[in-house]
Amino acid sequence: MLKRALRFNPLLVMGSLMVVVLLLAAACASDSNDEALSNLQKSIDELAMSQPEGLTATEVQDIVQKSIDDLAMSQPEALTSAQVQGIVSEAVMSMEIPEEGLTAEQAQAIVGSAIGAIETPEGLTAMEVQNIVAGAMGDQPEGLTAMQVQEIVDNALMAAEDPEALTAMKVQEIVAMALADAAMEEQRQKGTITFATLNWGTAEIQSALAQFMVQHGYEYPVDEKAGATIPLFQGLLGGDVDVTLEIWLPNQDDVWLPALDEGNVIPVGNSLNEQWQSAFVIPTHTAEANAGLRTVQDIRDHMDIFPQEDGKVILWTCPGDWGCHAVNASQVTAYGLDDIITLKPADGGAALFASLQGAYDRGEAWLGYLWGPTLPANTLDLTRLEEPPCGVGQAFGDGCPYGVGPVRIAVHPSMIQRAPEVIEMLRRWSFTDEQIGEALSYRDQTDATAQETAIWFLTNRESIWTPWVPTDVADRIKAALVAQAS
């Protein structure tokens, strides 16, 4: 996960301090003031030195556990509120709080007020408090903010005004309800994550998979924007799109590299293996029937075998709003083939594949752009015409072929703060050609939608995707799949 800048957060210190204080109040005995003070000060110091953006329930539990572990067995009785207030006052007075934070007096007043509200005639033992906190926090989602922690403690204290009512059962009920309210508020505050659904098979399936996992596993609202490479990349830069699962490089280098340098996109790994692509693909049966057709220059001597338009050979190419369109046009020009080739952009990936499949099934010649992993590349016998190798410093498209390139996952920079756990999932995301090819084949054979293919994949290929997410997230995804099937 991306590291965040460390900064002092007084609300986080005070919110977590109140939790520690509540536990110390129940855990310490009057002859252990020095030890309690030492533990409390240590917790304060550690919190002040390293401030995460939000505490998880587990992290809060770890903090308080550290403070009372050495006292739980040896100190069964509880300090009075006056004794705890004295300890806390001494500890808070020793805090070095920056000028922009709370003053020592303000902190003392806050903690003193909180302690003053705790007046139990009997007091809870350290073990009882430990069990209460563990039970209340154990099932809470990650991402509790400092404000939420402080609200949880405040709610518990406000409910403790009646000293007779503050039994172990009552404390457990109060804390559990407060944490549940905080979790619900966190869910309400989660913003929608918008995915780019690019208009070809692998991208459509990957987008559907990620949307299902984020919605049901991480409980974020999701949306998608469907379309082509160029407009959806602009959407990513502008924040209309949050996640794109297939940035094909080097096709998009002219926009990708400047955006990367300026920090307008964040790369989080590769979704697919490095992939090939070529604008000069023909069926192998065409190559075998024409022994002299081996290179791009050989097209000139075999024009008559290909479909033509206005006296020129038709080269099926990608849509005009895909990054490869300009590259393919540049290659035709660089190879001096403008006079014999006309580019015919397809309406989308499906139309491109349909034109190839139709010609292949009829045993006809076809010339055009293709890449892997795609269903035609996986299922048809195809040949790439040879192109001259790139010279030193020569860019692809300027008289030499595409190189094998990465397929990146990219997110808008706002995702770092908004959904770091989703970024962590995307960092683990990875498909082999065989795995994504299996999904493509299922979709083709069953005429399934991308969403139906995603559900099939999640249901039947758990060993692939479960390592990408924590166990609790995987459990929620599995539960959603069962609900979908019922």
DSSP string, 110-138: HHHHHHHT---SS---HHHHHHHHHHHHT
CB contact at 8 A, 354 and 367: no
Residues 137, 22 share a domain: yes
* Ramachandran bin of 335, using left for φ above 0, alpha for ψ from -120 to 50, beta for the remaining angles: alpha
Q: What pLDDT shows up at residue 395?
A: 79
Residue range of the domain that includes 101: 10-189
Q: What pLDDT shows up at residue 190?
A: 84
Residues 160, 144 share a domain: yes
The answer to whether residue 399 is domain-embedded is no
Residues 323, 175 share a domain: no
Q: Which of 170, 189, 208 is the C-terminal boundary of a domain?
A: 189
Residues 234, 86 share a domain: no
The answer to whether residue 389 is domain-embedded is no
The answer to whether residue 393 is domain-embedded is no
Q: What pLDDT shows up at residue 163?
A: 43
* Ramachandran bin of 189, using left for φ above 0, alpha for ψ from -120 to 50, beta for the remaining angles: alpha
Separation CA 46–CA 64 (nearest Å): 12
Residues 214, 331 share a domain: no
How many CA atoms, within 13 angstroms, populate the side-chain half-sphere of residue 28?
Answer: 28
DSSP 16: H
The answer to whether residue 395 is domain-embedded is no
The answer to whether residue 3 is domain-embedded is no
Q: What pLDDT shows up at residue 172?
A: 52
How would you write 243-280 as a 3-class SS string? EEEEEECCCCHHHHHHHHHCCCCEEEEEEEEEECEEEE
Structure tokens at 385: 């015409």
CATH for 419: 3.40.190.10
Q: What pLDDT shows up at residue 448?
A: 96
Residues 283, 270 share a domain: no
Residues 313, 253 share a domain: no
Q: What pLDDT shows up at residue 179?
A: 55
Separation CA 346–CA 344 (nearest Å): 6
Residues 340, 416 share a domain: no
Q: Which of 137, 170, 189 is the C-terminal boundary of a domain?
A: 189
Separation CA 125–CA 26 (nearest Å): 6
Residues 301, 220 share a domain: no
Residues 142, 230 share a domain: no
The answer to whether residue 355 is domain-embedded is yes
Q: Which of 320, 353, 384 is the C-terminal boundary of a domain?
A: 384
The answer to whether residue 79 is domain-embedded is yes
DSSP states along 32-56: GHHHHHHHHHHHHHHHHH---SEE-
The answer to whether residue 394 is domain-embedded is no
Give the predicted TM-score (pTM) of the model. Answer: 0.57
Q: What pLDDT shows up at residue 369?
A: 96
The residue type found at 24 is L
Residues 295, 321 share a domain: yes
Residues 79, 62 share a domain: yes
Q: What pLDDT shows up at residue 53?
A: 46
**pLDDT tens, per residue, the chain with 486 residues:** 222 222 334 444 444 445 444 444 444 444 444 554 455 445 544 544 444 444 444 444 455 444 444 433 444 444 444 444 454 445 445 444 444 454 445 544 544 444 444 444 444 444 444 444 444 444 444 455 445 544 555 555 454 444 444 454 555 555 556 555 555 555 557 899 999 999 899 999 999 999 999 999 999 999 999 998 999 999 999 999 999 999 998 888 889 999 999 999 999 999 998 888 999 999 999 999 999 999 999 999 999 999 999 999 999 999 988 888 999 999 999 999 999 999 999 998 889 999 999 999 999 999 999 998 888 988 999 999 999 998 887 877 788 898 888 999 999 999 999 999 999 999 999 999 899 999 999 998 999 999 999 999 999 999 999 999 999 999 999 999 999 887
DSSP 30: G
List the helix and strand counts (H, then E) for the chain: 21, 13
CATH for 313: 3.40.190.100
Phi, psi of 343 (to 5 degrees): -85, 135
Q: Are β-strands 312-317 and 144-145 bridged in parallel, bridged antiparallel, or unpaired? A: unpaired
**Residue given tokens 């990349």 in the structure block:** 233
Q: How many domains does the chain have?
A: 3
Q: What pLDDT shows up at residue 81?
A: 44
Separation CA 141–CA 144 (nearest Å): 8
